[in-house]
Structure 1
Amino acid sequence: MYEDFAADLAVTMWADFDETPTRTTDSPTITNLDTVVIDGNFPWTIVTIEAEDGTTGIGECYPSPGVHEVITDYLKPVLKDENPLDVERLYYLMRESLSGRGSQWGIGTIAISGVEIALWDLAGKILDQPVYQLLGGKMRESVEVYADCHAGEAMVSSAQEGQSAETYEPDAYARAARATVNDGFGIVKFDLDVPSGRRVNRKSRHLDGPEIEHKQQIVEAVTNEIGHDAEVAVDLHWNFSPETATRLCQAIDGYGLAWVEDPLPPENADATTMVAEQVNVPILTGENLYGRHGFRELIAQQGVSFLAPDVPKTGGIAETKKIAEMAEAYYQTLVPHNIGSPVATMATVHVGATVPNFHALEYHAREIEWWDDLVDQDEPLIEDGHIEVPDSPGMGIELDWDVVEQYKK
C-alpha cells in the first residue's frame, strides 16, 4: 500500500513540476534500493542502489530512526526504473515525493541525502568517473581531517550515567589531545560541555563562575600541552544561552582556539550572529541545518566564521556543494560535520575536493578499531591527518561486506 501511494503521489506532483526526459534503449535503470545498519559508535545507515546491469552505488544517511522505512516504502517505488545518471532530477523528484513529509528538513531530508550519495556513486561507476569529476573537477589532491578526542568515554551522556568526574579533569583532556596529535592530526577538537562534578541546572542554559572556570582550565591544559603542534577546537553542543555562551567564549579567548562549535541552539541565526559579534573566537555551526535554504540566513548575515553542513543529513553531495558556493560569495569556509562511517566520510571528501572554501573534515571514530576494516583496501583511509582524493570510479571505495555483516545491527 505504501509503495503504491508513494509512487502515485510522486508521479502526480512531478507531472506539474517537470517532464521526465526521454530515455534511449541503452539508458541504465534503477532496479533496487535498500539499507543496512552498521553498529558503530553511531548506527550508520548504509544505502545501496542497484542498476539493471548489477552495478551498485553506496551512500549513507545520518543516524536517524525510521530512515529505512522512508527509503524502502516511499523512495524505492519513486526511483524504480529511473535513469540513475539523472542525479539532480532524481533529487528533486524525491523531494517532491516527500513534500509535506520532511523533504525540507528532518527525517525525509536525511533519507534523501543517503540515497543522493548512492546515486552519485552509482553514476560515477556507470560512467567510469570519480564523483569529483562529475561535480566539475578537483581543486586539491587531499582533504584535511580533524579528529574528535575525548577524555573518558566518547559521549558526554556516559558521564551523566555515573562516570566519575575525575575522568573529565583537565589533565585527562590534555593526555587525550596529545595522543590524537601523535596520531598525525593537525587539528583536534574536544567537547567542552562536560561535567565538572558540581551540581548544575543544565535546563537553564546558564553556567556560573566556577563552571566557566572549569571549562577554561580544560582549554588551558589542552593548549599548553599541544602548543603549536596542532590547532585546537571545542564543541558546546547547542547547550547555552547567549549570555553564558558570550561569557564562556570571552573566558577562553586568548588560547588561540581554531573555533568554538555550536554555542547556541541552532534555530535562531540572529542570536548566533549576536554572540559571534561580541566575542573574538571564531564560531562554527551548521550541523543541524538543512539545505541551502536552511543556511541562507546564516550565510547572508555573515554570522559565523565556519559552516558545518553534514553531507548525509543536509541534502547530500550536490546540495552541500551548493551551500559551499553560497558561502564562498561571503568568504565563509566549510568545516563539515561528520559522525559517519567511511562512506559518509568519502562523500564529504568529494565535496571538499571540488570547492575552494573547504578547510577540514570531521572524523569521529578514533575509538572504532575496525573503522578502516569496513573498506575493501589494505591502506588506511586517513594518513597523517589527510585523506587522498581517489581517482577510481564513484566515491572510490568499496565496502567489505563480510565486515559489514559482522558489525551490522
Structure 2
Amino acid sequence: MYEDFASDLAVTMWADFDETPARDGPTVSIADLSTVVVDGNFPWTIVTVETEDGTVGVGECYPSPGVHEIITDYLQPVLEGENPTDVERLYNLMRASLSGRGSQQGVGTIAISGVEIALWDLTGKLLDQPVYQLLGGKMRESVLVYADCHAGEAMVSSAQEGQEQETYQPEAYAQAARAAVDDGFDVVKFDLDVPSGRSQNRKSRHFDGPEIEHKRDIVAAVTEEIGDDAEVAVDLHWNFSPETATRLCRAIEGYGLAWVEDPLPPENADAMTALANRVDVPILTGENCYGRHGFRDLIEGQGVSFLAPDVPKVGGIAETKKIADMAETYYQTLVPHNIGSPVATVATAHVGATVPNFYGLEYHAREVPWWEDLLVQEVPLIQDGRIEIPDSPGLGIELDWDAVEAHRKE
C-alpha cells in the first residue's frame, strides 16, 4: 500500500525526475535493492543495487536503525525499473518519495546516502569507469587517512601488544599514539571527553578546573610522545557548553593540535562559529549535518577551519562533493568523518581524489582485525596511512561475501 503511495507521490511532485532521458544504445534497469548488516565495531549496513542483467553496485549507510525498512519497503518500489546511471535524477527522486518523512535529514537521508553510493558503483561498472572519473577526474593519486585511536578499552586494545596502561590515563594515550604512528599514520586523534575518575555532573556540560587539567595532561602526554612525527587531534563529541569549551580549548592551545572536533552540540552553527573566533585552535565539525543546506551556515560563517561530512550519512558521494565545492569558495578544508567499513571508506576516498580542499579521512577500526578481510585484494587497502585511489570500474573494490556472511549481524 505504501509502495503505491510513495511512487504516486514521487511522480506527482517530481514528474521531471521520473522522465527518463532518451538514449542511443541499450540500457539496463534496476531490479532489486537489498541490505546486510556487518557486525563490526559499529553495525555497518551494506547496500546492494542490482540490475536485471545481474550487475551489482555496492554502497553503505551510516549505522542507524530503520534503514533496511526504508530501502526495501520505500525506496525499492520507487527505483525499480529505473536506469541506474541517472544517479542525480534518482537521488532527487528518492528525496521526493520520502518528502516529509526524513529526506531532508535523519534516517531517510542516511538510507538515501547508502543507495546513492551503490548507484555510483553500479554506474561505474556499467560504463567501465572508476567513480572518480565520473565525478570529473582525480586531482591526487592517493588520500591521507588519519587514525582515530578512540579512548578507554578500544584505544588500549588497538595499541601494540605488551603496552598496557590504566584506561583513560595520559600514559595510555601516549602509548596508543605511538603505536598508531609506528603503523604509518601521520595524523592521530583521541577522544578527550573521557572520565578522569572524579565525579562530575556531565549533564550540565560544565567541567571544573581539575577536569580540564586532566584533559590538558592527556594532550601534553600525547604531543610529547609524538613530537613532530605526526599531527594530533582531539574529539569532544558535542558535550560542552560554550563556557567550558572555551576554557578547555584555551588550556590546550599551546600544544599545536591539528584540530579540536565538535566541542559544542551540533544544532547551533552560530555558537560554533563564535567559539571558533574566541579560541586559538582550529575547530572541526559537521558529522551531524545533512546535505549542503545543513553545511551552509557553517560555511558562510567562516568560523570553523575544517568540515567533516560523513558520506554515507550526508547524502552520498555527489552531495559531499557539492559541500566541498561550497567550502572551497571560503577556503575551508574537508576532513570527512568515517566510522564505516571499507565500502564507506573507499567511497569517501573517491570524493577526496576529486576536490582540491580535501585533507584526509577518518579510519575508525584499528581494533577490528578483520576489517581489511571484507575485501578481495592482494595488498592492504590502507598502507602507511594512505589509500591509493582504485582505478577499476565503480568504487574499484570487491567485497568478500564469505567474510561478510561470517561477520553478519542478525
1:151/1:172 contact within 8 Å kept: no
Deviation at 1:10, TM superposition (A): 1.8
Deviation at 1:23, TM superposition (A): 5.5
Equivalent residue, structure 2, for 1:204: 204
Question: What whole-Å deviation, never above 9, does each CA across 1:51-83 have from its counterpart, x for those lacking one?
Answer: 111110000000000000000011000000000
Q: Give the match's secondary structure for 1:168.
A: coil
Equivalent residue, structure 2, for 1:260: 260
1:140 aligned onto 2:132: no
Within 5 A, what are the aligned runs for 1:2-401? 2-15=2-15, 19-22=19-22, 26-154=26-154, 166-401=166-401
2:312/2:344 contact within 8 Å kept: yes
Structure 1 residue identity aligned to 2:177: A
Question: What whole-Å deviation, never above 9, does each CA across 1:158-183 have from its counterpart, x for those lacking one?
Answer: xxxxxxx9411000100111001011
CA distance in structure 1 between the aligned counterparts of 2:318 and 2:42, rounded to whole angstroms: 24
Equivalent residue, structure 2, for 1:160: none
Structure 2 residue identity aligned to 1:402: D
Deviation at 1:378, TM superposition (A): 1.9
When normalised by structure 1's length, the TM-score is: 0.96
Distance 1:155 1:61, change over 3 A: farther
CA distance in structure 2 between the aligned counterparts of 1:8 and 1:171, rounded to whole angstroms: 60
CA distance in structure 2 between the aligned counterparts of 1:73 and 1:18, rounded to whole angstroms: 19
Question: What whole-Å deviation, never above 9, does each CA across 1:98-156 have from its counterpart, x for those lacking one?
Answer: 00000000000000000000000000000000000000000000000000113432289
2:110/2:312 contact within 8 Å kept: yes
Structure 2 residue identity aligned to 1:297: D
Report how many residues are paired.
Answer: 402
* Structure 1 outlier segments of 4+, above 3 Å: 16-20, 22-25
Q: Give the match's secondary structure for 1:370.
A: coil
In structure 1, list runs of 5 or more residues that go unmatched: 157-164
RMSD: 1.5
Deviation at 1:26, TM superposition (A): 1.4
CA distance in structure 2 between the aligned counterparts of 1:146 and 1:134, rounded to whole angstroms: 26
CA distance in structure 1 between the aligned counterparts of 2:16 and 2:311, rounded to whole angstroms: 29
Deviation at 1:2, TM superposition (A): 2.8
Equivalent residue, structure 2, for 1:159: none
Deviation at 1:19, TM superposition (A): 3.5
Tell me the percent identity. Answer: 81
User: Bigger CA drift: 4-13 or 303-312?
Assistant: 4-13
Deviation at 1:25, TM superposition (A): 6.7
Deviation at 1:14, TM superposition (A): 1.9
Structure 2 residue identity aligned to 1:197: G
2:129/2:393 contact within 8 Å kept: yes
CA distance in structure 1 between the aligned counterparts of 2:283 and 2:337, rounded to whole angstroms: 14
1:87/1:116 contact within 8 Å kept: yes
Q: Give the match's secondary structure for 1:146.
A: strand
CA distance in structure 1 between the aligned counterparts of 2:239 and 2:390, rounded to whole angstroms: 38
